[in-house]
Copies of this chain bind each other. A is one copy, B any other.
Amino acid sequence: MSERLWYLKRCSLFERISADELARLEQVSRWRKFPRGSMIYFPENAADTAFVLATGRVKLCDLSVDGKESILAFIEPGEMFGELAVLDQSPQDEFATAVEASSVVAIPGDVLRRMIESMPSVSLGITKLIGMRRRRIERRLKSLLFRSNRQRLAHLLLDLVEQHGRPAADGVEIGVKLSHQDLAGVIGSTRESVTLLLGEFQNEGIVRLGRQKIVVLDDEPLRTEIGLPTKIKASSAEPVAEENKGDTPWRPRYPVARKRS
Q: Find chain B residues with CB under 8 A from A259 CB.
A: 67
Contact residues of A between 56 and 100, Cβ < 8 Å to B: 61-70, 72, 84, 87-88, 90, 93-94, 97, 99
B72 contacts A234, CB within 8 Å?
A: no
Q: Nearest-CB distance from A147 to chain B (Å)?
A: 8
Q: Nearest-CB distance from A80 to chain B (Å)?
A: 13
Q: Find chain B residues with CB under 8 A from A90 CB.
A: 135
Q: A244 at the A/B interface (Cβ < 8 Å)?
A: yes
A63 contacts B141, CB within 8 Å?
A: no
Q: A32 at the A/B interface (Cβ < 8 Å)?
A: yes
Partner of A232, one of B67, B188, B227, B254: B67
Q: A124 at the A/B interface (Cβ < 8 Å)?
A: yes
Q: A196 at the A/B interface (Cβ < 8 Å)?
A: no
Q: Find chain B residues with CB under 8 A from A146 CB.
A: 64, 66, 68, 70, 188
Main secondary structure of the interface of A (DSSP, over half): loop
Copies in the complex: 2
Q: A162 at the A/B interface (Cβ < 8 Å)?
A: no
Partner of A67, one of B61, B135, B181, B260: B260
Q: Which of A34, A66, A68, A140 has the most CB of B within 10 A?
A: A66
A65 contacts B255, CB within 8 Å?
A: yes
Q: Find chain B residues with CB under 8 A from A69 CB.
A: 256, 258
Q: How far is the CA of A33 from the CA of B247 in the complex (A)?
A: 10
Among A115-123, A167-175, A198-206, the one that faces the other chain is: A115-123
Q: A5 at the A/B interface (Cβ < 8 Å)?
A: no
Partner of A35, one of B84, B187, B239, B252: B252
